[in-house]
Structure 1
C-alpha cells in the first residue's frame, strides 16, 4: 500500500467515493512537522495494511477540502467523519488510533 496524493478536489472526491475502506486523510505542508508526519505515513503504508486507505493532500489555506473539514494547519490527520488528530507524534500512536476508531483487529 502507498500514500495516495489527492491534491485536487476531483481526485479527492474520487478516492473517497470509490472505496468501502476507512480513509485516513493527512494534510501536509512544507514545515518540519509535516516532514516528520510524511515519514510516519511512509512507515504506516510500508506495512502493506490493506484494511484502510491513506490519502495525503498539500495543505491549502482556504482550500475547498480544508474548509469542508475545518482544517486550519498542517500536519492534520482526519479519520474521515470519525476523528481528527492534530500533530501526531509517532507511528504507534497513529496505528493505535486507527485500530481504535475503526475497530480493526491487528493484521495477522
Structure 2
C-alpha cells in the first residue's frame, strides 16, 4: 500500500469513512524534510497495510483542514484513531525505524 493523496474536498470523507486508524501527512513536496517523511511513511504504509490508512495532503497554510487541526508547518503528521479522533500530532521529520514506528504500531493495536 502507498500513501493516498487527499485534498480539501475529500479529506473529511476519507478520514470518517476509513473504519480504521488514519495517519495523515501534511507535506510540501520538494522540501527535504517533507520528502524524507513521505519515504518514511511509505515504509509504514507497507508494514501496516490493511491496519492503518495512510494519507498525504499538500500543506496549505490557509487551508480549512490545517486550521481545524492546528497544522502550522510541513511536515506535520496527524494520527487519528478509528473513530477519527486525534491521538497524536508529530511536527517535523521522524524516521519510521525510530520512535515513530512505536507510535504507528501502537495506533494499529486492536484496542486503538
- Shorter chain as normaliser: what TM range? 0.7 to 0.9
Unaligned runs of 5+ in 1: none
Match of 2:93 among 85, 88, 97: 88
Q: Which residue of 1 aligns with 2:66?
A: 66
1:48 to partner: Cα distance: 5.2
2:41 counterpart SS class? helix
- The equivalent residue for 1:42 is 42
Counterpart Cα distance in 2 of 1:57 and 1:94? 19
Asked if structure 2 preserves the Cα contact closer than 8 Å seen for 1:25 and 1:54, the reply is yes
TM-score using structure 2 length: 0.83
Instruction: Tell me, yes or no, if the aligned pair for 1:61 and 1:72 is still in contact at 8 Å.
Output: yes
Contact 1:88/1:94, CA 8 A, preserved across alignment: no
How much does 1:91 deviate? 1.0
Count how many residue pairs are aligned between Structure 1 and Structure 2. 103
| Regions of 4+ moved over 6 Å | none
Distance 1:94 1:79 in 2: 11
TM-score by length of 1: 0.85
2:73 & 2:90 partners in 1: Cα distance? 11
1:66-85 deviation per Cα after TM superposition (whole angstroms, max 9, x unaligned): 00000000000001211101
Residue ranges of structure 2 left out of the alignment (5+ in a row): 81-85
